[in-house]
Amino acid sequence: MQASILIVYTGGTIGMVQNSKSGLLKPFDVENIMAQIPQLNSINAKIEAVSTRAPKDSANMRPSDWQEIGQLLFDNYEKYSGFVVLHGTDTMAYATAALSFMFKNLSKPIIFTGSQLPIGHTRTDALENVITAIEIALLQKNNAALINEVCLYFGNKLFRGNCVTKISSQNFNAFDSPNLPPLIESNMDLEINYSLLQVSSVNKLSFNPALSEEVFVYKMHPGITEKQFSQICSAVKFNVLILETYGSGTLFNNDWLVTALSKLRKKGVEIINISQCTYGSVSALYEVSKYMANLGVISGKGLTLEAAIAKSMCLMASETTKMNFKTLFITDLAGELS
C-alpha cells in the first residue's frame, strides 16, 4: 500500500501573507502553502492537507488549540502513515510537549515544523523544513515507521518534542534540545541517532486530550519581596506552581519564602523546581536550597519549561493522575527525562 502523509496547517509564519492595508503578516490557508511547494509532486507518497478550524498566529494558541490538533490527528490516525503539523514557532515547543503526553503507544510519526520566513519569501526556510519533515515521516525500518513519537523538525535537526525549546527569534536554527541530542540531523544524508529513537509500541494507541490550565509559572529573581510573592499567591488560583530557580535549582532561604511555600504545600499545591538555565539539570548540590526538598518541592530535573508546563497540565486534568502527581511527574512518561 502506498505511503501517505497528512499535512495539518494550524497557522504561523510559514503560511502567512501580508495584510494589504497594514502590511503586517496574518495567517492564510493551506492551499496557498501546498501550491508553493511543487517538490511535493516528486515525493513517492500520497500527500494530503487539511487546516484546523481557524489557523492562528502561534502567540494566540491556547491549550484548547492543542486539543483540537490532537483530536484531528487521532481521528485520522488509521488513514495515514504519518503526520506533519505546520505550526508557528513561538509556541511550537509547548504544543509538541503537550501532544507527547496526550498520546500513548504511538507507532507513527507526528512531526511539527514551520519556518522563520513565510513560504512566499525568496529566502524562506519553509521548503527545506517541510520537505525534510515529510521525508523523515516516511522513513521505515522492517516495514514499520522509524519515528514513533511527537517530534519537532527545524534547522536541519529532528528533536524529541518534549525536550526542545525555542532559542532564537531570528536564526534559521531557532530551536535546541538542551539535554538530549537531535534524533536526526539532515546534511547530505540523514544522520540518524538510532540509540535515541523510541521503540514502536505493541499496545493500542490511546489519546487523552484533557488539560488543566491551573498551572502557574513564577521566575524567581534577586529583589523579589514577600509582598510581591504573597500577593501573587493569593490573587492567582493554581494547583501547580512552577518555580524557575537559579543554576542547579538553588533559591534563597529567607524565612518568609519558606513560610509561603509551606503554606502552599499545606493547601495541596504541587510545587516544581525548574532551572532558569538552558542547559543542565536541577540537583541537590547546595545547602541553601535543601529546604525545598523537605517541603516536598518536586525536582524538575532536566525538563524544559515547556515540558514541565505541559506535563503538569496533563497530570492535573484527571483525579487519578492528580492523586499520584509527584510519582508520575518524576517518572519518564514520553522520553522527556531521557
Residues labelled catalytic:
13
Give the sign of the dihedral formed by CA 245, CA 303, CA 235, CA 288: negative
Is the separation of the CB atoms in 177 and 164 below 8 Å?
yes
Residue 102 and residue 209: Cα distance in Å, rounded? 6
CA distances to 222, 236, 256, 291, 318 from 226, in Å: 12, 16, 6, 18, 33
* Cell of residue 130, nine digits: 517541510
Residue 120 and residue 127: Cα distance in Å, rounded? 10
CA distances to 107, 155, 198 from 147, in Å: 8, 18, 7
Is the separation of the CB atoms in 109 and 77 below 8 Å?
no
Torsion of CA 50, 56, 57, 59, to 10 degrees: -120
